[in-house]
Structure 1
Amino acid sequence: MSATPANEPLLDYVTSCALPTPWAQFTLHAFVEHGPGFGPAGKEHLAMVLGDIGDGEPVLARVHSECLTGDVLFSQRCDCGAQLEGALQRIAQEGRGILLYLRQEGRGIGLVNKIRAYRLQEAGADTVEANLQLGFHADARNYELCRPMLAQFGVKSLRLMTNNPRKIDAMTRLGIQVAERVPLLVNRNAFNNSYLNTKQAKLGHMMSPASVPVGEPVVVTAAAPDAS
């Protein structure tokens, strides 16, 4: 995928509205991307904001990739829906934060291909092998849009809710400081246990509950699956 020229805007800020949720009333902001560097022109992305986040202090944040099956259909095959809910709850508890909702389903392969990948998993492949068998990267997501979305609100430093070291590396490469990693370990169950172990073993996801200050480069290592 070719990169968008540096002087060409990636997306447009469109409008906003109040969004009451069970935990707090957020402000929902809508963006529309231009394409073709990140994805199809016209793809829509969202930011949910609570409180004053443009004061220069690190902001509690979640960069969440769309997962219709988990976020909307309550699938237990992943932890995505629970991470979305947990992140919004934490932001509400603090009274300040931002959640970016990026439309890159299935780690970037799209909804229909994700369902194809699920079918391959039912035949014995793990979540990484299934994406590779379909001809995709294990993780095809692109976080380039985060920079202009966060800049819209004057956010330069994050307390990032994630278990994924690649996401921290991506923010750092974009010039966005990650002051702290806040683990988001939720909803391990009988249906997603193997999936979570694979993300730990093959994608380097950090399944430790301890908050990690980010002062040094993140090193991705393949940890052994846990025993749970």
Structure 2
Amino acid sequence: MTENVGVLGGNAHPKGVERAVIAPLPTVYGDFHAVGYLDHDRGEEQVALVYGDLDTLGEGDVLARLHSECLTGDAFGSTHCECGPQLTAALRAIVAEGRGILVYLRGHEGRGIGLLAKLRAMKLQAEGMDTVEANLAQGLPVDARDYRVAAEILHDLDVRSVRLLSNNPRKRESLLRHGIKVAEQVPLLIPPCEENLPYLLTKRERLDHYLPHLDDHLGAIRAG
């Protein structure tokens, strides 16, 4: 796939995403291409990490991860959530597959409520609320994320069918609505720790995330 740089830097769209740049990105996991986008609808910059040949990326069912931005987990190593380990596991899985894509979705901090609101929610959780209650207590949506931009990025990269690395049924539903086939939903299960177990249980019980491995951990706690 060749990079098309125009007046605005990439593939121009009246609305939606515009591909602006493709750059090599060597990482500790493998050598990726970072494909940068401008999201004109929201005024944000987005990035997709592609492993393998860009020209043949869209052939067949592509292993893909839509990863929501999480500064505290991805950058600071917070154990409040499993976001950092999921990011690492997804990149390793894509490299092991030999090709794939990770769309890193900026503007998704705190399930879309923003960094400061997320920190306030974390404070409320420390005082006894779960993640759903903490968002609602601030008058905010439980989950404000929109995966439209991820679908547009996949379309731009000629990806039409994915094997989706996710435990979240809403990601699958959103991709389907935006014209991306989900051939398979591949669980991305991270062993829980003491700090994130309540958070993960809320995701399973109130947000319908597929997290069957929590039962083994709960059984071990009860047995102990």
User: What range describes the TM-score normalised by the shorter chain of this pair?
Assistant: 0.7 to 0.9
Q: In the alignment, is the contact (CA less than 8 A) between 1:11 and 1:33 conserved in 2?
A: yes
What does residue 57 of structure 1 align with?
A: 60
Question: 1:227 pairs with 211, 218, 221, which one?
Answer: 218
Identity across the alignment (%) = 46
Query: Contact 2:58/2:157 (CA < 8 Å) preserved in 1?
Result: no
Instruction: Say whether 1:135 aligns with 2:139.
Output: yes
- Supply the distance in 2 between the matched residues of 1:75 and 1:147 (Cα, whole angstroms): 28
CA displacement, residues 92-131 of structure 1 (integer Å, 9 cap, x when unaligned) = 1111000000111110001111001001111111011101
Provide the TM-score with structure 1 as the length reference.
0.85
Gaps of 5+ in 2: 1-12, 220-224
Report SS of the residue matched to 1:113. helix
Aligned residue for 1:158, secondary structure, equals: strand
Please state how far the C-alpha of 1:55 moved relative to its aligned partner: 4.2
Q: Equivalent of 2:40, from 13, 34, 41?
A: 34
SS of equivalent to 1:115: helix
Point out the structure with max Rg over C-alpha: 2
Q: Report what 1:80 is aligned to.
A: 83
Deviation per residue, 1:71-106 (Å, 9 max, x gap): 000000000000000000000111100000011111
> Is the helix fraction higher in 1 or 2?
2
Aligned pairs, number: 203
TM-score normalized by structure 2?
0.86
Q: What is the aligned counterpart of 2:27 among 21, 31, 55?
A: 21
For residues 155-185 of structure 1, what are the alpha-carbon distances to aligned partners after superposition, in whole Å with 9 as ceiling and x for unaligned?
0000000000111111111111000111001
Q: Look up the SS of the partner of 1:145 in the other structure.
A: helix
1:173-192 superposed matches below 5 A: 173-192=177-196
Contact 1:185 1:207 in 2 (8 A): yes
RMSD: 1.8
Q: Mind listing any 5+ residue stretches in structure 1 that lack a counterpart?
A: 1-6, 210-223
